[in-house]
Amino acid sequence: MDVLYVDAYQPYKFILFNWGKMDMKKNNNFLVIRKMGLFYNVFDDDAQIISYLLGYRVINGRCGFPNNTYNKVINTLEDKKINYIIIDTEEIKKDFKNLNNYELYLAKSKNKNTLMHIIKEINEKIEDLPEDKLYQVLEYLKKLVDEQ
């Protein structure tokens, strides 16, 4: 069953809870962290940012981290000046106002994902190359890298 939660004190916030997944429509750029049992979870773009910053895996648009890494995550968000909201028994909100870097780190995470996808595609093609072609490709790449 889906439940729509509307916070009357913060009219920008509409949260749809559906089997543990949360979608948040918002006009502000806040990374939303939701406590679920012994873990905290972030979804969609927010999951991409957490993955980019901390190396956690994103599976089906969701990224989770255990309670014992909470301070590490929060300290990282604060160091990078990324607005966040934590939904637990009460809501905690950190707003860096004009200094918010949410969009910057979202763009960086998407760029990294694009590069990783390209690398994966190239790697799959390289695996099928005959050995002589593979040496040509590797020598060409080494030459390009060495020029830097």
For domain 1-148, give the CATH number: 3.40.1170
CB 41 within 8 A of CB 64: yes
Global confidence as pTM: 0.73
pLDDT at 28: 65
Which residue intervals of 31-80 are DSSP H helices? 44-54, 70-79
CA count, 13 A, side-chain hemisphere, 13: 17
Q: Where are the domains of the chain?
A: 1-148
| Residue 67 in this model has a pLDDT that exceeds 80 | yes
pLDDT score recorded for residue 81: 97
pLDDT at 6: 42
The model's pLDDT over 1-50, given as tens digits with 9 standing for 90+, comes to 344 444 444 444 444 444 344 445 444 689 999 999 999 999 999 999 99
Lowest mean pLDDT among 14-23, 29-38, 109-118, 130-139: 14-23
What pLDDT, on a 0 to 100 scale, did the predictor assign at position 90? 85
